Structure 1
């Protein structure tokens, strides 16, 4: 390493050390000069006492005085920083150098500790931004080329070795491995990935090598969206904090006015000496300042946002963390939210001489090239059972029926038929009709397979309910929340799903604009949260008090519109988010009540008791530190 590089490295280290620990270094220096001033007075070097105190004032109070003066000059407003400095200077002006210096020291210590606690909160959020690797290995034929992530293009094939972090969103094209997705989705258990599975940038590959085809540019990955959401959350302040900041400016003027009145009236009205009056006024400036009150909200809110991010819940701002805690109704979209949104074969009933596998194989052979979701479900089920599929010929779609074609010399038809027509036509026996009706009552779509006029089998297709959907809804209901389901599906299907998951009310046959009307109508019960994943959910997400989008399954429009994103599509996180919002509100209220109580006690003690400036400073700054630490409880 060259001398220049060594010097630059040392310089960089010093800059990092100074920027990270500046508050603590300044506080220690301030205390050091206070100690030297005390030693000077104790051992007869009185000429050095005031200069050392002055150094303590300048070093400990310079930054706060500068910030307070900037607010005064630029915004024509007062803040608590300037109040503290004025109080310290006032104490020194009547000979209480030590008291003023202790005020500056404790104020500086409080600022340093507040900086550390807020930094800890922000660090846990910013750690998300460090997940994306800087480089990736691109496969070019048989060659491997290491490139920067910014240079990757959609369609590139990336090699991810065991133990490496995945650099881009994509589809696995070769290999098998388990991938730890906790950083993105909050899932604690690694997920097995093989050919055709989706993977996300920022997740950690396990024991196997994977070849991934990049499907999204770097700026459009799920991780990039998370980073964007986190940046939004950090910059947006909740209404309570905005109110508190406005209140602080007004309150600071009230405190200054009160201090001036205390300076002027008591000598004439109460007969106090000017020295005692000024001292009481300085104590009032300190103890009446709303530092603890102002610090009651944001540390708690940032901690709550950080807690959510670690558990796969992204809040786009503190306002939504506050709002979700006050939710009285949760409305769920059905398809893709309460259900997986992927139709699956739930049952195959063969008839005649056909077996279950034969019926499934014939149906899959006819549906191989179809893009219809039900056709894909049939083919997927056949592949899962490793069935051999035949090549179908003379394929033709039959409107209102399905498809028909020739498989191994026989003409087969497969499709969805109306049960009433089947009964009238005499094609279904009572037994077969009962089986089909029972499947429909269970929420299945019934598909019939025929050869000529002979029914060879029935296939039941159903959009399966998400794991833990019922438990999640039960948990919400135990929290006193009304749960409803909104869907565009038919009433019969919707009612069956609604009963299975246990919602309080089902709204069916809805268009997107109808969902908006329902959300507005539900507002009579209080704040409404809407949980959805699709483009058709976006209007309802926008009009609700809190829009919650499914992160992994959700469309870009839903993610952009929503206020909260569930990264793992885990419905249990809805109740967790509401509980987190409620707990945040409780802690904020506790902090505010504590801050006001301490402030009133100190103000009353100043007039009725014999509280001195150092004790007032300790009470005031101590309460500020305590409410910050109280807010950090949400990091657990």
Structure 2
């Protein structure tokens, strides 16, 4: 076959794959229209032939699916019940009613397909973020390669406006990168040499050279795709219950239809034709289509909403559970706090200024890898303070560093550095106050004179207090678990506004507290996914912070927050609550419609086409209702 011949065939295949259900429904309607025009009595051979074609075209697919379920699983399903009802109507001369049933059933199937496609598209859009090719730099040459062929250590050129093809570290260039697809952050993040970037994110106005750190299958985006695929395939407990219930319920409906076909002529004086017709309507209106469709569209929509906002649920079960939380337990370091010490106070003594004090301190710490040293150097760079030449630098284990700065012998370290020296009452009071606040005090000494001090502390995240307050407004108890000292923990806990603080805990003690809290309700643990892994696993819902680069977070937690944004915890809970509320609304609506149609059928107020419209309409209504959760607008905290 030539390319010219193959192209239309391929196009037709795509059209049929996406719109085949609607095409079948339209053909079925045309045949019904022709049959209706051919004669109102419906008894001529031509009319019956047209109706038979409508039955065959509109009902073939559903009949086949129903028979396969019956043969393979020995179970009755809704598809087979609909086809049996249509055939039953035709057997007593209601050709038109049966054909309309087949048409509406096929049309509703097509519409359900479109509405479910919207959910799937929202999820699959995440999977299309990774580009297919990347530009690899080799010396002075540039070469386009498939993303699957990238190796650790390759240098990639990412031009302005292009998607980044792999996880890596920026080697050259400056740009703002839109990371919303991975972290949910709405504002682009400035990237410079040494900063980490992720596959699937969008480069801004500057060109970047990136050194690949992970192969394609190990990138954060690949892990996200894997988690979303897992979440799609996993059924929450409520859906599993409904599916088990459907199998039993279908048998009850068949038994009810048989009784309704047999008893009314004996006890109510109905004609056999009327009785069988009402039994066929009962098969339709009592079928649990809407009930079965009440849950999964809402769950999948909620999962898609979360993924687009940087929240990954590992399954629908956790979306349901997170909406029923009573307690949220936060780890301190790296979760409520930044996890990195910062200089909070600078006090200079005598003739020295803060700038001079910080310059000497940073110069002494130039080559140190200690977190406190990095905090001091970072502040000096932030303030554009020039460092002075240093020589003879030597670390004193447990105390600090000494060396020569600008020709003077200098030292920096903890309180042992000033032993034997006389401090004023004011200086002693300052030191005591800082230590009571849980801060580490560092002294700087030039020759034999202490020229000042710096206080260092792991600071609270900017959004921590607001996030904790939101959770408390939602009626959730908030506690903090930490291995840190009681004094430091109490100070951070008070700043964050948590209800209760548990300090000086080992990992196994955190697990015991989670189990104790869980005795009175559902409890979530929010941690960094490393030393908190046991507590994450023991909680009702484990929520991992800072999943970027933390493999154990993806493995242990049930919910992963792709950015270190504590506000996403309350958003995830709100999303879970709204999902549960939508599911309850859908289930209530589905049951109410079934009861209304069954009663109306029994008293003779519903014919077969109207019963089908009510039944299929309610099914489509609950699916559309579930799709409300695809909306990315901020969900009310109290939903």
Question: How would you bin the TM-score normalised by the shorter chain?
Answer: over 0.9
User: In 2, Cα distance between the equivalents of 1:7 and 1:354?
Assistant: 86
Separation in 2, partners of 1:530, 1:624: 37
Q: 2:574 aligns with which of 571, 576, 579?
A: 579
1:235 and 2:233 aligned? yes
Q: 1:90 aligns with which of 82, 88, 91?
A: 88
Shift in alpha-carbon separation, 1:444–1:367, aligned structure 2, 3 A: same
Listed as ranges, the gaps of 5+ residues in structure 1 are none
- 1:536 aligns with one of 522, 531, 538: 531
1:357 corresponds, among 351, 355, 358, to: 355
How far apart in 2 are the matches of 1:249 and 1:319?
Answer: 21
1:186 Cα deviation from its structure 2 partner = 1.2
SS in 2 for 1:536: coil
Partner of 1:521: 516
SS of structure 2 residue aligned to 1:405: strand
Residue 628 of structure 2 corresponds to residue 630 of structure 1: no
1:596-607 aligned at under 5 Å gives the runs 596-607=591-602
Q: Which moved more, 1:267-276 or 1:626-635?
A: 267-276
Superposition pairs for residues 211-230 of structure 1, below 5 Å? 211-230=209-228
Aligned match for 1:244, one of 242, 245, 256: 242
Q: What residue number does 1:457 align with?
A: 452
User: In 2, distance between residues paired with 1:217 and 1:376?
Assistant: 31
Q: CA deviation at 1:181?
A: 1.2
TM-score normalised by the chain length of structure 2: 0.95
8 A Cα contact 2:529 2:556, kept in partner: no
Alignment match, 1:154: 152
Give 1:486-505 correspondences, 5 Å limit: 486-505=481-500
Shift of 1:553: 5.0
Q: Give the TM-score of the pair, scaled to structure 1.
A: 0.96
Answer whether contact 1:537 1:558 (CA < 8 A) is retained.
no
**Where does the alignment leave 5 or more consecutive residues of structure 2 unmatched?**
632-639
Aligned residues: 631
Aligned twin of 1:428: 423
| Cα distance in 1 for residues equivalent to 2:535 and 2:138 | 46
What pairs with 1:57-206 in structure 2 (closer than 5 Å)?
A: 57-206=55-204
In structure 2, the CA distance between the partners of 1:409 and 1:238, relative to structure 1 (3 Å rule), is same
Distance 2:8 2:459 in 1: 60
239-248 or 149-158: which moved more? Answer: 149-158
Kept in 1: contact 2:112–2:623 (CA 8 A):
yes
* C-alpha distance in 2 between matches for 1:428 and 1:597: 80
User: How far did residue 459 of structure 1 move?
Assistant: 1.3
Aligned mates of 2:181, 2:51 — CA distance in 1: 50
Q: For 1:398-409, list aligned pairs within 5 A.
A: 398-409=396-407
| Contact 2:220 2:548 (8 Å CA) reproduced | no
Corresponding residue for residue 5 of structure 1 = 3
**Aligned counterpart for 1:475 among listed residues 470, 477, 487:** 470
Q: In the TM superposition, what is the alpha-carbon distance from 1:391 to its structure 2 partner? A: 5.0
Encode CA deviations 1:554-578: one digit per residue, 9 max, x unaligned: 6211221111111122111111111
| Aligned-pair CA distance for 1:113 | 0.9
- Structure 1 residue corresponding to 2:381, chosen from 378, 383, 399: 383
Within the alignment, does 1:335 sit opposite 2:354 as a pair? no
Provide Cα deviations, 1:88-119, integer angstroms capped at 9, x if missing partner.
11111111111111111111111111111111
Cα deviation code 1:144-179 (max 9, x no counterpart): 121111111112121111111111111222111111
| Further displaced range: 155-164 or 263-272 | 263-272
Provide the rounded CA distance (Å) in 1 between the counterparts of 2:398 and 2:546: 36
**Equivalent residues of 1:324, 1:577 under 8 A apart:** yes
1:546 aligns with 2:546: no
Aligned-pair CA distance for 1:42: 4.2
Secondary structure of the structure 2 residue equivalent to 1:277: helix
Q: Mean Cα displacement is larger for which, 341-350 or 14-23?
A: 341-350
Query: 2:306–2:312: 8 Å Cα contact kept in structure 1?
Result: yes
How many Å apart are 1:359 and its aligned residue?
2.3
1-side partners of 2:224 and 2:63: how far apart?
Answer: 38
The answer to whether the Cα contact below 8 Å between 1:287 and 1:603 also exists between their aligned partners in 2 is: yes
Q: 1:396–1:403: 8 Å Cα contact kept in structure 2?
A: yes
Q: 1:427 to 1:196 in 2, by over 3 A?
A: farther
Over aligned residues, Cα RMSD in angstroms? Answer: 1.8
Give deviations 1:69-100, integer Å, cap 9, x for gaps.
11110111111111111111111111111111
Cα distance in structure 2, aligned partners of 1:236 and 1:122: 15
Match of 2:318 in 1: 320
